[in-house]
Structures are given as structure tokens and as C-alpha cells.
Structure 1
Amino acid sequence: MSADDGLLIWIEEALAAVGHVTWRRMMGGATLYLDGTVFAIVLDDVLWFKSDAVADPVWDAQGSARFSYARKDGRVATINYRRAPDDVLDDVDAMREWAALAVEAGRRAPGNKRKQGS
């Protein structure tokens, strides 16, 4: 897994008008923060936005897949991140719209800790 530096820079630039984006490398990918709130991850050069029970219906209506992975025991597990719609990769307004939904989910997260990455 990897996090494409070009994608990370695009996200940072696209969201600069709404807040300060930082990221921390993790397991070959990156966790992204907007003003200290976790809102996305990038793995295998794919952007996944944070979601929760409140935001899930919006993501479902968009048809955005839930992040899933194979566990060591062969079962498939999911975490509450949704694949970013394709238009966020080249449309600043779409990036801001979907990122705002993800930031709100991040703010609602239990035990939300505001960490700064780089």
C-alpha cells in the first residue's frame, strides 16, 4: 500500500481555502487531517473519506463503497471510510463538498482527538 504524494498535495491545495490539511504516514498509506480532525485516508493511491451513521445514507446514495480488507482468518472486515467519488480528483468544489461531510463525521467520532500530522 502507498500514498501518492501528488494526490496528497492536490488534497492539501484543494482544501486550503477551508482549512489546513496535514497528513501522517501509516502502514504505507496516510491519514489526513483538516485543522486537526481526521477526515480521510489514502491507501493504494485511493482516497477514502471518513463516514459514520449520520453520513452513511449520503454515501450510500452516491454509491460510494465502504472500505474493506481481508483479515488474517479470511473474513472480510470493514471500517467506516467511503471511497471518494471520482470527481473529487479534478474538481475543487466536489473535493470541498465531500471533505466537509467527512470532517463532520470526524468531529462526531467518539474519543475524537485532534492530532496534527505533517
Structure 2
Amino acid sequence: MGEKGAKMTREASQVAEELVKGLGGIEGISSKKMFGGYGIFCQKKMFAMVNGAGECYLKLNEDNKADFDAYQAPKHNRMPYALVPKEVFENKELLLTWANKAIAPPLN
């Protein structure tokens, strides 16, 4: 997501649509326009976001931190999310695996 008041871009809309479609195997996936980008939700819990530039981020937790570290994926500057590597985004099975880890509740 971008800054409050940022303009929605075609790239953001396309990536969000592609992400929701690619995660169609997970029940309860939806998207919502937010600050020039999109929040991606599962059962009303946000687990991913697409910023105005069309970059996709997944929520970080103990289950997926090592995956992002292996790709040296940059973290979002203000939120506990990391950039989904292009190779992961383009691989439907791997994207589903990563999304499921981001959706999983954090371990206490």
C-alpha cells in the first residue's frame, strides 16, 4: 500500500486482481482498495498488500521469515510485510504455499 491520498495505478489493480485469482484455491480471499494500493484479506484478516507500484507483499511471521530471508526479500518500510520475489509470484503452487504461511496465525 502507498501513502494516504495516493492515486490508484493500473499496475496495482492488475497485480491485485492476478493475486486474488492466483489464490482462488484458498477460501475467503478478497481485496480492498487502500491508500493507492490494495489490502488482500482471508476471512477479513489482512495477510498481503499491493502497493501503488504494483509490488506484492506478504505478512511476515515465524513460519515464513526464513523463506523471505532465503531470497533476501526487502521488508516493507513501515509494516511487518516483505516483498514477494518475482519467481514466487509467478509460480502458482509456491505462491499458494507462501500465502498459506502468511495467513497462518503467529506462534506465541
TM-score (norm. length: structure 2)? 0.76
Equivalent position of 2:92 in the other structure:
92
CA distances 1:18-68 after superposition (whole Å, capped 9, x unpaired): 223211211111111023221101102100100034532332122111111
Q: Answer yes or no: is 1:8 the counterpart of 2:16.
A: yes
Equivalent position of 2:74 in the other structure:
65
Query: Size of the alignment, in residue pairs?
Result: 99
CA distances 1:58-95 after superposition (whole Å, capped 9, x unpaired): 32122111111xxxxxxxxx321000011233221121
Over 4 Å off, 4+ runs: none
Q: Answer yes or no: is 1:18 the counterpart of 2:31.
A: no
Partners of 1:55 and 1:93 in 2: how far apart? 15
Q: Answer yes or no: is 1:28 the counterpart of 2:26.
A: no
**Larger-Rg structure:** 1
Higher relative contact order (CA 8 A, sep 6+): 1
Report matched runs for 1:36-115 at 5 Å.
Answer: 36-43=44-51, 44-68=53-77, 78-104=78-104, 107-108=105-106
> How much identity, in percent, do the aligned residues show?
16
Partners of 2:97 and 2:62 in 1: how far apart? 18
Shift of 1:12: 1.4
RMSD: 2.2
Which structure shows the higher strand fraction? 1
Identify unmatched segments of 5+ residues in structure 2. 3-7
The code of the aligned residue for 1:63 comes to Q
Partners of 2:31 and 2:107 in 1: how far apart? 18
C-alpha contact (below 8 Å) 1:12/1:20 kept by paired residues: no
Equivalent position of 1:115 in the other structure:
none
